[in-house]
Amino acid sequence: MTPFDSLVEMGKKEMKKETGLGLSYKKDENFGEWYSEVVVNSEMIEYYDISGCYILRPWTMTIWEIMHDFFDAEIKKMKVKTCYFPLFVSPGVLQRKDHIEGFAPEVAWVTKSGESELDIPIAIRPTSETVMYPYYSKWIRGHRDLPLKLNQWCNVVRWEFSHPTPFIRSREFLWQEGHTAFATKTEADAEVLDILELYRQIYEDYLAVPVIKGKKSELEKFAGGLYTTSVEAFIPNTGRGIQGATSHCLGQNFAEMFEIIFENEKGEKAMAWQNSWAYSTRTIDGSVLSLMPGVATQSGTVQVIVVPVPFKDADTQSILDACSDTVKKLTEAGFRVEADLRDNYSPGWKYSHWEMKGVPLRIEIGPKDLAKNQVRAARRDNSAKVDLPMANLVEQVRDMLDDIQKSLFNAAKEKRDACIKVAKTWDEFVEALGQKKMILAPWCDEEEVEKDVKTRTKGEMGAAKTLCSPFDQPELPEGTLCFASGKPAKKWSYWGRSY
Ligand code: 87F
């Protein structure tokens, strides 16, 4: 053990004892408690005095901004324009169509202003189809008005009743909602997949969370639409699937309800084809669940933290200067870098603190490093430490961050893949479910059969349902039977418990 290492150990102990910053739960032993502790200690979330509402601290909002900037730039390339519709919804508009029916209990209402009751209560948007589409009807008249592609970044409120959880199940969340209208189904179909691919990139390339692209079953799709596609992640620790973002083809259902009708090139009346798509701050839980420890290098608020390691009689000022120079150099090269120059915390305390926050790479600069014109780099994901000469710091840091991102993704994918089990019979299915697996099974694709599976698997842990039918379908040999009904199977589908 070097003097530095013992300083680190001291720092860790001191931190846990004095500030309570250390984690008291283990991810593999008490997942729920671990999750609650991690989101607070990493300074992502602060709890709030209204159940299901959370303060998103800068550490979270920076991740959100990074995802926002990427996605917003991509959809602008697709000629999607930004808009903003009001937060408040008149009851007539909200209740206008039956698609809302099943969701009604989740809608929050404003009933008072000051002391007086409002004449008519006003709803807070849970989603904006019924808010926006009356205006689509007004704006879309001829084929030259199409395609109409709008997106808004906003907050929505859904008054969830099941156990609220930071990110995954919060009652207010931020999202983008895209609503597009086309003259033809072909264009709508193509856009559904283009958007889904961007969602895959957010999860896999930014958050390093592996996802499966696929189509939802009739039972699990957005009831108001024609079909729903999604990216699905899986949390090995809880054995639950989690729907990432969704990209829906609404078909002509809403066009019919809201009379979104245009005159086509032949001078005939035609109904528009519509899509809607969204991803939200609920997505960020992926960064907590799969990555802590080790927030992905692409989405992380701070990619590199620089920590000075002053020692005894060494010249502290020149160490601090070297830290500032390093920050400057790496910032200029385009990295998100900070130095922790606080003099009221030990280096060890700082290591633990930034580890907790998931910063993927730490640079330590002490007197020996200074003398050798180098820095010490420590990886968050595998604890490896290497000396990097100052001369080619930028290149080395870039390579290391790339490598960390790749290994985080590969590790998460290996862990996810180890949870996938193929089940061809009911017995195999039940056994795999008991082992908290994500189950790939041949299915007859009948709604009644999915309902039946739900009923038959009901229990303390929750019933199994379809997660998606993957676009990437394994071969389905002629004569393969459905695991649940024994009828001829039409496709492979993923099944499991989910959030
Ligand atoms: C809750 C209350 C009221 C979901 C709700 O996925 C209405 C709804 O319509 C509701 N929860 N939904 C479905 C939302 C579908 C759709 N909206 C636009 C999306 C993507 C973006």
| Ligand 1, pocket-test mutation among 99, 131, 222, most atoms within 8 A of CB | 222
Whether 135 lines ligand 1, by a CB cut-off of 6 Å, is: no
Give the span between the Cα atoms of 372 and 389, in whole angstroms. Answer: 8
Nearest to 423 by CA among 482, 474, 466, 468: 482
User: Residue 98's pLDDT is what?
Assistant: 57
| Gap between the Cα atoms of 247 and 230, Å rounded | 6
Helix (H) or strand (E) run with residue 228 in it: strand 227-235
Residue 280 Cβ contacting ligand 1 at under 6 Å = no
Is residue 246 within 6 Å of ligand 1 at its C-beta? yes
pLDDT above 80: residue 227: yes
Average pLDDT over every residue of 33-52 = 90
pLDDT score at 284:
77
CA of 360 to the centre of ligand 1 (A): 35
* pLDDT for residue 3: 38
Question: Which conformational region is residue 88 in: left (phi greater than 0), alpha (psi within -120 to 50 degrees), or beta?
Answer: beta
Mean pLDDT for all residues in the chain: 91
User: Is any ligand 1 atom within 6 A of the Cβ of residue 277?
Assistant: yes
Is it the case that residue 211 has pLDDT exceeding 90?
yes
**pLDDT at position 100:** 62
What values do phi and psi take at 341, rounded to 5? Answer: -100, 10
Closest CA to 39 of 234, 395, 309, 285: 285
Residue nearest to atom 13 of ligand 1 (CA): 222
Q: Rounded to 10 degrees, what is the CA torsion of 381, 326, 205, 171?
A: 80
Ligand 1 centre distance from Cα of residue 82 (Å): 19
Burial of residue 235 (CB within 10 Å: 0-12, 13-18, 19+) is buried
- What is the structure's pLDDT at 32? 84
Residue 384: its pLDDT value, please? Answer: 96
CB 35 within 8 A of CB 279: no
The number of C-alpha atoms within 13 Å of 247 and in the hemisphere containing its C-beta is 21
Per-residue model confidence as pLDDT tens digits over 376-426: 999 999 999 999 999 999 999 999 999 999 999 999 999 999 999 999 999
In short, whether 107's Cβ falls inside 6 Å of ligand 1 is yes
Please determine, for residue 6, whether its predicted confidence score (pLDDT) is greater than 90: no
Secondary structure class of 413 (helix, strand, coil): helix
* Dihedral of the alpha carbons of 421, 469, 283, 102, in degrees to the nearest 10: -120
The tokens for 474 are: 């394994």
Q: Which residues pair with 149 in a beta bridge?
A: 180
5 has a pLDDT exceeding 60: no
- Reading the block at residue 463, the tokens are 């019933």
Q: Which residue from 416, 417, 440, 418 is spatially nearest to 429, judged by alpha carbons?
A: 440
Nearest-CA neighbor of 245 among 413, 90, 364, 75? Answer: 75
Residue 349 above 70 pLDDT?
yes
**Average pLDDT of the residues in 426-446:** 97
Amino acid at 351: Y
Q: How confident is the model at residue 482 (pLDDT cuts 50, 70, 90)?
A: very high
Q: Quick check: CB of 278 below 6 Å from ligand 1?
A: yes
Whether the CB of 221 sits within 6 Å of ligand 1: no
Instruction: Examine the pLDDT at 295 and tell me if it is beyond 60.
Output: no
The residue whose CB lies within 8 Å of the most ligand 1 atoms, and thus the one to mutate among 127, 169, 171, 180, is: 127
Query: DSSP H helical segments within 115-217, as ranges?
Result: 129-139, 185-201
Q: State the average pLDDT over residues 107-122.
A: 96
Task: Report d(CA 420, CA 234) in Å as an integer.
Answer: 9
Residue 466 CA, ligand 1 centroid: distance in Å = 19
The torsion angle over the Cα atoms of residues 424, 429, 435 and 439, rounded to 10 degrees, is 60
Calculate what percentage of the chain has a pLDDT beyond 70: 91
**Does 438 contact ligand 1 (Cβ within 6 A)?**
no
Q: Does the C-beta of 85 come closer than 6 Å to ligand 1?
A: no
Q: Return the bridge partners of 277, or none.
A: 178, 247
Residue 164's pLDDT band, with cuts at 50, 70 and 90, is confident
In this prediction, residue 10 has a pLDDT band, given cuts at 50, 70 and 90, of very low
Is residue 452 scored above 70 in pLDDT?
Answer: yes
- Which atom of ligand 1 approaches the CA of 106 most closely? 2
Any atom of ligand 1 within 6 Å of the Cβ of 222: yes
Tokens of 364: 């330590």
Residue type, 6: S
pLDDT of 136 higher than 90: yes
Whole-model pTM?
A: 0.92
Question: How far does residue 401's CA lie from ligand 1's centre (Å)?
Answer: 37
- Tell me: cis bond preceding 310? Omega within 30 of 0 counts: no
